[in-house]
Structures are given as structure tokens and as C-alpha cells.
Amino acid sequence: MVINNLILPEPTLRRLPWYLAYVEILKAQDIEYVSSTQISRALNVDASQIAKDLSFLSLKGKTRIGYEVNALVSSLADFLGFRISHKAYIFGAGSLGKALMLDSGLANYGLDIVAGFDIDNKKVGNMVGDVPIYHIDSLATVMESNPATIGILTVPADCAQDTADIAIGEGIRAIWNFTPYRVKVAEGIVMSNTSIYAHLALIYNRLNAEI
Amino acid sequence: MVINNLILPEPTLRRLPWYLAYVEILKAQDIEYVSSTQISRALNVDASQIAKDLSFLSLKGKTRIGYEVNALVSSLADFLGFRISHKAYIFGAGSLGKALMLDSGLANYGLDIVAGFDIDNKKVGNMVGDVPIYHIDSLATVMESNPATIGILTVPADCAQDTADIAIGEGIRAIWNFTPYRVKVAEGIVMSNTSIYAHLALIYNRLNAEI
């Protein structure tokens, strides 16, 4: 397995999962080879861009035949880190937090949610699917027995910053922020925002503009 | 209520929900006025950018006092469409689809999920929370009795394109794509991708690069 420790450009990291999803479909159809022209036509991405993105992988395509589908699937999934388990905690066992704990699909992409944290004593001590919910005060203890590197923020917006600070203080190194609050973190901490609300705002705006 | 039918730039639509989340916190703290400088400091966004973004709203700030917090909350929430109900269907009642149906938080942002569709007869006929699951073949009928404009795609990647085509064929006007497949739609159809897998790839890549 190739462990990649290049910092890849964000647009490349956005496109590589598209290629993976597409070649996985070809694999399921027992198709053996795919050219960048074919991927280009299917996904509306410039063929030279695809060749450039795939050049980050050690894999080489063959002239006139293209890439071997099986090898491309493995190589992309490995390269993107989807085949290694990455341990994560969920902060906030409310409706979205619980939903993510129950989404077994994330495990297929290397995300292993091992614990949830909340401050609500009615939630603490319960299980959501197979994820135990602890009080946030137990974070240091859980971090010792079952450490994680990724903290998924699904708390209310008004405790997003405090929760991130606590999590980072106990050793969390990446924050995946699902709250609409813009959390600030120190340099060296990985930050990724999934702005569900911004996507909704975009959809509503574009729909309205059409009327 | 101000219905906005300007096409706003995507970066503005990404930032406006941040401002809303922040001023909602101030409102809960009974703070009456906020300046763009204050918002700027809290969110690490340039103050002139904030003034520019907020200029899309009809609201005006007062010199030296700033914006009235209550009015800014209402104005932003209205402007972003979060206070009008937008009906949506979920296509794919698997793990992520079910999770979204159970996420009551989305309703606070104007998203009303009224039906789910699947092809699995074990799922069809059931309820997830208060959302009924229909067979995809019933789409035209449901569209008549309880129409929706937004289709949320949580099907497996290999049926993403077909499902989007069917949904659009029956009158869905916006696709919110949660699959890793890059779905293509005709001009005039609103398309928004929430690339959970791309965000994971980004987190993994940045974490690895640090080691």
C-alpha cells in the first residue's frame, strides 16, 4: 500500500473521489481498461486535467489502452486513505450526530467513529448503534483507552468553538465541522467544513432566481 | 418577508450562514447591536467583505452602532430562505438517506423532507421517522399528491445518474447530491454537491502530510 504524504491541492482531492466512484462502477461491470478520454466524457472533466490528477498516483496508464480498472480502483482508494481506518469522535449526540453514528457508509471510506460525547446526562451512558456516548468530561480518559485523531463537530453553533478547543486540547488533530459556526483553530490543526446550510442556501437561492 | 431573487455569488452564500450563526449567538445573549468589525474579529473575515455581503440585504447598519442584532437575524434567515418551507424527496433510503430523514435539524433551515423513495421492497411501505418510503415507480403519483422541488440523492453511486434523470423527468428542479458520483444535469436544473468523501479525503491527506 502506498502511503501518500504529499499535500495535494484541494481541487484534486475533490476530483479524485469522482474518478474512484466512476471506476468502481466500471469494475462492477467487469470492464478491464479505461482511458482518461473515457473518464473525461463520463464526468465532464478535461482529459488533461484527469491525467494530471492521476499522475499523483504511482500508477501509469498504457498508450492507447489506458488504465487497468482494478489497479486504478485500488490505487485511488489507497491513495485517498479510504482503506485505512481513521478513528474519530463525534461531539454532540443530537440529531445530526446520531445520524452520522448510524451511517455505516462512512466506514467504507475509512472513518471509524469510536465514541460520541455530549453534556446531556440523558444521552450519556447510552449507545447509538455501536457507538458509546460519554460525558465530555470523560474525554481525557477515553482518549487514553481508545484514542482518536479526528473530531466531528455536531454540537449547537454556540458551543462549536469551545468544544473544538477542548477536543484539540486533549489531542484531537483534525476538526470536521458540520456546524454553521466558523470555528477557528491553531496552525497545524486540520480543519474541514461541511456546510450543509450553505448548500441549502445555494439551492434555495438558485431556485428562487429561476422563478 | 423579503423574497430574494438575485443570483448571489457562491462565496457570499457560503459566508452569510456564518454571519447568521454568529448573530444568533449574540441574540441569545441579549446583545442589541453588532458592528461589521466585531463580526470580522469573531469570524476572521475581512470587515469590508462583510459589509459588502450584507449590502445584498435591504438592512442598513447605523454609523458607530452597527446592525441591530434581532433585525439582522431575521433578515439573514429570511434572505437565505431558511424560514420558508421547501419540500424535498430523498432518493435512496439506505444508511445516509435514513440519517437525513431523522435529522430534525434540517427543518430549522427550511428543508421539509416529505417522502423517501427506494427500490428495495423491504423498505417500501415503511416510515423513517415521519417520512413515508415509496417505491420509485410511485414517484409520478406522489409528485401529484405531495409535490416537491428538491431531490436529495443518497442512492449508491452506480444509480446516481439514472435516479437524477428520473427525478428531473418527473419535475424535480434541484438535485442535492450526496453520492460520490458526478451527476450531470441539464441547464436550468439546480445542482449542489455535498462531497462528504472529498472532505474525508482532504482530512486524511492533511493529517498524513503532517506525520
Q: pLDDT value at position B5?
A: 67
Q: Do B14 and A198 touch (CB under 8 A)?
A: yes
Eight-class DSSP state of A4: P
pTM of the model: 0.90
Alpha carbon A25 to its chain centroid, in Å, reads 20
The dihedral formed by the CA atoms of A165, A170, A176 and A177, expressed in degrees to the nearest 10: -30
Q: Do B14 and A45 touch (CB under 8 A)?
A: no
Among B157, B205, B206, select the one facing A21 at the smallest CB separation: B157
Here the cell at position A33 is 481498461
C-alpha A211/C-alpha A205 separation (Å) is 10
Interface of A with B in 23-42 (CB under 8 A): 24-25, 28
Inform me whether the C-beta atom of residue B49 falls under 8 Å from chain A C-beta atoms: no
Q: Going from the N-terminus, what domains does chain B have, and what CATH number goes with each? A: 2-79 (1.10.10.10), 86-199 (3.40.50.720)
> Per-residue confidence of chain B (211 residues) as pLDDT tens digits?
445 567 889 899 999 999 999 999 999 999 999 999 999 999 999 999 998 999 888 787 787 889 999 999 999 999 999 999 999 999 999 988 998 998 878 898 999 999 999 999 999 999 999 999 999 999 999 999 999 999 999 999 999 999 999 999 999 999 999 999 999 999 999 999 998 899 999 999 999 876 5
**Residue A78 burial class via C-beta count within 10 angstroms: exposed 0-12, middle 13-18, buried 19 and up:** middle
Find residue B91's DSSP bridge partners. Answer: B117, B153
Those residues of chain A that have pLDDT short of 50 are 1-2
ipTM above 0.90 for this complex = yes
Establish, for the pair of chains A and B, how many residue pairs have beta carbons separated by less than 8 Å. Answer: 215
C-alpha B71/C-alpha B84 separation (Å) is 17
* B69 close to B59: Cβ distance less than 8 angstroms: no
Eight-class DSSP state of A89: E
Determine the 3-state secondary structure of A21 from DSSP: helix
Closest chain B residue to the Cα of A111, Cα to Cα: B200
Q: A41-87 pLDDT, tens per residue?
A: 999 999 999 989 998 887 877 878 899 999 999 999 999 999 999 99
Closest CA to A166 of A193, A131, A139, A133: A139
Q: B40-58 pLDDT, tens per residue?
A: 999 999 999 998 999 888 7
Q: Do B208 and A5 touch (CB under 8 A)?
A: yes
